[in-house]
Structure 1
Amino acid sequence: MKVTVNTLNKMAAEGRKISMLTCYDASFASLLEDAGVDILLVGDSLGMVIQGVDSTLPVTQEEMEYHVRCVARGAKRALVLGDMTFGSYQQSPQQAFANASRLIQAGAHMVKIEGGAYMAETTRFLSERGIPVCAHIGLTPQFVNAFGGYRVQGKSEDDARRIVNDAKVLAEAGASMVLMECVPSALAREITETVAVPTIGIGAGVDVSGQVLVSYDALGVYPGKKARFVKNFMADAQSIQGAVEAYVKAVQDKSFPAAEHTF
């Protein structure tokens, strides 16, 4: 059965965990959904894991469209989520719609936008015009220069309140899903209990509607220091499909993320 926004809402309401992995091509799209992955995120993380640059910032709109088309050709069941690239949506809601519509035309079913409550107008503009939006809050990698690095967000009381407000405002503006990155697990749980849409975590504990990882991280492919929230599912698997199936199962039975993967 095709995964849609309605499917995700039903899963979240019933307490069935949603599994998401990044995906950048047709072959992996087919493999990941055959292994049970619900959402394929065509992430601007491709800048680092595919292109070899040191952040998501250089990835272009045209490159994202290309990879969305590749993934959409390989996906038959999973929902395809496309990242809005740096500079493609911040100027105005109209600019965001022009570029988001190109991702939808390329095969995405939803787009992901980084930023807090100030993105509410853009979120509303897109959702009212038929483009589902995933709001990305907490650690937003496109803000790496403003943050001074990849740091856990929401540790102070003021910062935590700001992030809760971001989630509430964006959900009320029409976001179909809220993704939280690198926030304390207690904060992620509070947000999940507060908003009426599914929540996805990466480094946000187990008490969310679902989980996402960069597929290269989950398969132990990407070199360099492993982030705290990452688990290499390939370590105990006999095949890539087996590793992905193990990830899906661990998300569903809540054994991932474990305490050592959370903040």
Structure 2
Amino acid sequence: MSTTFTIDAATSRATPVAAPMKRLTIPAVRARKAAIAAGTGAPLVMLTAYTVRTAQLLDPHCDLLLVGDSLGQVVYGLPSTVPVTLEMMAAHGAAVVRGSFAAAVVIDMPFGSYEASPEQAFGSAARLLKETGAAAVKLEGGAAMAPTVRFLSERGIPVMGHVGLTPQAVNQLGGYGARGRTPDEADKIVGDAQAVAQAGAFALVVEGVVESIAVAITRTVDCPTIGIGASAACDGQVLVAEDMLGLFERVPRFVKRFAALGPAIDAAAAAFAADVRARAFPGPDQVYPDRR
């Protein structure tokens, strides 16, 4: 058993302590497909995480933590995931690995870091894994990316695929609407999923597709499918944690809010501001008395 450093939240914010590490492995993730089919395994749980503290809170409940390029919008306020850089992914990926110890950590390959060639993809993926300690990378694309998935997999880099609505291709797709509403597009998405799975992907995110497509993909690929705006029939589910926690006003159709932290944070900030302006904070319990 190896060790890693986690942050002890009971101390003053950032005291690293050695903790035993026994993460879910990538082969175990892949094997979940057969266990689910046999009725002996539970669906995979994956949420996004971008910071140490978020990783600490989510890790006990998740099989996988995804350092998604959605951080471009969620953390940096960018209009899409397209401007996200390798440097951003490496920095946040390392933070999430430091804040977790049980879940397998997967990092998105940002737009422009893998599409040109398998060799380019290998260089980018190797950098992310070296600098973060993550277990795997995720890349978007269908049959066109299958040779890259195979190239990486054969060289020891686990790859999670991503088909259907692929946010990095938003400019080509023309928006974030559900995909697969025509027979030709539906057939293409299923074919894309099969090609990526056959190329060696250990799991496959299926995003924003007509439900019947997600069901067909789950039935025909030999790796687990992880749905987002897809179907409960998938082998697992993923959401952006901030959406699930209710931090944003907009709620996409495929999101279920499990909390309302946005209004709670707003109320807490308002209460703090009121106390400061009324000179009610800090009070006697928050200042250091003169002991002379």
| Contact 1:12–1:18 (CA under 8 A) maintained in structure 2 | no
For residues 215 and 93 of structure 1, the distance between their equivalents in structure 2, rounded to whole angstroms, comes to 31
For residues 71 and 185 of structure 2, the distance between their equivalents in structure 1, rounded to whole angstroms, comes to 29
Deviation at 1:42, TM superposition (A): 0.2
Segments of structure 2 that go 5 or more residues without pairing to the other structure are 1-21, 37-41, 265-292
Q: TM-score, normalised by structure 2?
A: 0.78
| Contact 2:50–2:92 (CA under 8 A) maintained in structure 1 | yes
1:233: which partner in 2? 258
Segments of structure 1 that go 5 or more residues without pairing to the other structure are 240-263
Q: TM-score, normalised by structure 1?
A: 0.87
1:260: which partner in 2? none
| Contact 1:81–1:110 (CA under 8 A) maintained in structure 2 | yes
2:55 aligns with one of 29, 34, 48? 29
1:77: which partner in 2? 102
For residues 126 and 27 of structure 1, the distance between their equivalents in structure 2, rounded to whole angstroms, comes to 31
1:201: which partner in 2? 227
Q: Which has the higher contact order (CA 8 A, sep 6+)?
A: 1
1:188 aligns with one of 197, 207, 214? 214
SS of 1:59's equivalent? Answer: coil
For residues 118 and 125 of structure 1, the distance between their equivalents in structure 2, rounded to whole angstroms, comes to 13
How big is each residue's C-alpha offset from its partner over 1:73-114, in whole Å with a ceiling of 9 and x where there is no partner?
A: 111110000000010001110000000011111222111111
Q: Which range moved further: 227-236 or 142-151?
A: 227-236
For residues 221 and 32 of structure 2, the distance between their equivalents in structure 1, rounded to whole angstroms, comes to 15
For residues 241 and 123 of structure 2, the distance between their equivalents in structure 1, rounded to whole angstroms, comes to 29
1:173: which partner in 2? 199
Deviation at 1:11, TM superposition (A): 2.4
2:243: which partner in 1? 217
| Greater C-alpha radius of gyration | 2
Matched, 1:2 2:28: no
SS of 2:107's equivalent? Answer: strand
Deviation at 1:10, TM superposition (A): 3.0
For residues 89 and 25 of structure 2, the distance between their equivalents in structure 1, rounded to whole angstroms, comes to 21
Structure 1 vs Structure 2 CA RMSD: 1.5
2:118: which partner in 1? 93
For residues 118 and 14 of structure 1, the distance between their equivalents in structure 2, rounded to whole angstroms, comes to 30
Query: What is the letter of the counterpart of residue 81 of structure 1?
Result: V
Deviation at 1:12, TM superposition (A): 2.3
Deviation at 1:9, TM superposition (A): 2.5
| Contact 2:29–2:202 (CA under 8 A) maintained in structure 1 | no
Deviation at 1:235, TM superposition (A): 4.3
- How high is the sequence identity, in percent, across the aligned residues? 50
| Contact 2:33–2:222 (CA under 8 A) maintained in structure 1 | no
For residues 245 and 205 of structure 2, the distance between their equivalents in structure 1, rounded to whole angstroms, comes to 21
For residues 12 and 121 of structure 1, the distance between their equivalents in structure 2, rounded to whole angstroms, comes to 23
| Contact 2:193–2:221 (CA under 8 A) maintained in structure 1 | yes
1:67: which partner in 2? 92
Query: What is the letter of the counterpart of residue 46 of structure 1?
Result: L
For residues 179 and 158 of structure 1, the distance between their equivalents in structure 2, rounded to whole angstroms, comes to 20
Question: How many aligned residue pairs are there?
Answer: 236
2:279: which partner in 1? none
| Contact 1:49–1:222 (CA under 8 A) maintained in structure 2 | no
SS of 2:139's equivalent? Answer: strand
2:147: which partner in 1? 121
